Structure 1
């Protein structure tokens, strides 16, 4: 991916030098129990944590669902907004301010998403509100609960921020066979896609609807949310390609990442069997197909995975 001419976003909050791991950021997690009380079957705690992290990395909304899925519980759960959350004001850039390669890469990718979505929203007569991106190391706290390196990148709709521990990209490459800078960029674009859904009112409506659904119906709706975020990432890829930012093999890297972390692929690795009714994020084929659809069309209107359900 060519990023030499891309500006760095100013919406990066660097907590990596914070000795508390960001735990003093003013958040009070509620309703996110970290999967306590769920029996662990078919793998070590470390392995399960990594799988849950991969699921959260690309799917971004509810890690509890992923934990239940990989440990045989079949999915379910939801996030619940707690109005008692108090977010302490934070500047766009905090921490040591060191301009390392990892931060520069993430900042430039985030900047490209801001440029793309600003243009798309403007063409529709609307204003895009960028999502801040939090860099952390080891552990931090969000309005959606405590996050660790094993959690992977995720979007928290309660504080409208994307969270990333860059060390997790090593796991994406080594354990899941998804290397490449564009695979990493695709992950960020997917999480920003959830932010776009949030601005569109899709995530709030999704969370409201699922409260009154059966687990199977809620899982099916969750798949549609995730596939749309993949399609939005594809739209972003289309626009960056038009700007001459993509290199040969970049799209293949993103498609490979989507394939490696489909629900069916993850279940095969962790359980040895595939349980379709427990899918919450889409199969490998679905994820890659919807990313490709967004990329080939470059049209937000081609990303309606709901067919009138939302």
Structure 2
């Protein structure tokens, strides 16, 4: 992924500021991913962004509640970014929000490549909440986290406002769960992405321990 300066203004302190921040970051993600998708002969299309004003939103994929940090719906190719679960420690730390946004954008990339649809098919076939089904969820989520690291690695130390030292803020922000993986694995896949080799983000062939 080519290095670039990405400098969305401020940080998502309230809904208007969040809309400004994410809409300014969107062209950065588009310019980062479009060449990679093009070389793989996938057609790029822009996702929509929605910051629910009351913390709730209804999508074709279900209801997005105020406790959701971020959510991507493949049916309408929309990234939902409610404000309700934003942690106070993130205030004034824009790179954490940029990482959240790039993670959800990673699910859009998975949709454009068809891997998201296949992962959901496999999860449903295994039973969504079965051990095998949850492992499919983690493979999907950890790849998207790796994609987030790929993008963040492309914007740090690029002449813009973000530096490699900011990456520590990202690694401290996320808490693992059975659908997304352990804290250690979330950090590990993010750091793989930062190495800027997209092949390192292939969670589909990783061992079960690597996606626990």
TM-score for the superposition, normalised by structure 2: 0.81
Q: Secondary structure at the match of 2:63?
A: strand
* Change over 3 Å in CA distance of 1:204–1:248 after alignment to 2: closer
Is contact 1:137-1:149 (8 Å) kept?
no
Matches of residues 72-83 of structure 1 in structure 2 within 5 Å? none
For 2:179, the equivalent position in structure 1 comes to 280
Is 2:185 the counterpart of 1:252? no
Query: Hey, what's the Cα distance between the residues in 1 that align with 2:17 and 2:133?
Result: 40
* Change over 3 Å in CA distance of 1:208–1:125 after alignment to 2: closer
Q: Secondary structure at the match of 1:121?
A: helix
Corresponding residue pairs, total: 193
Query: Hey, what's the Cα distance between the residues in 2 that align with 1:242 and 1:249?
Result: 9
Kindly name which structure, 1 or 2, has the bigger radius of gyration based on alpha carbons. Answer: 1
* Change over 3 Å in CA distance of 1:242–1:127 after alignment to 2: farther
Structure 2 portions without partners, runs of 5+ = 10-14, 208-212
2:72 to 130, 155, 177: 155
Show structure 1 runs of 4+ deviating over 4 A: none
For 2:86, the equivalent position in structure 1 comes to 172
Structure of higher RCO (CA pairs closer than 8 Å, 6+ residues apart):
1
* Change over 3 Å in CA distance of 1:248–1:238 after alignment to 2: closer
Query: Alignment RMSD, CA only?
Result: 2.3
TM-score for the superposition, normalised by structure 1: 0.57
Is contact 1:178-1:256 (8 Å) kept?
no
Structure 1 portions without partners, runs of 5+ = 8-15, 17-99, 264-278
For 1:219, the equivalent position in structure 2 comes to 134
For 1:105, the equivalent position in structure 2 comes to 21
Is 2:59 the counterpart of 1:142? yes
The alpha-carbon deviation at position 157 of structure 1 amounts to 1.4
Is contact 2:69-2:86 (8 Å) kept?
no
Is 2:203 the counterpart of 1:305? yes
Is contact 1:122-1:128 (8 Å) kept?
yes
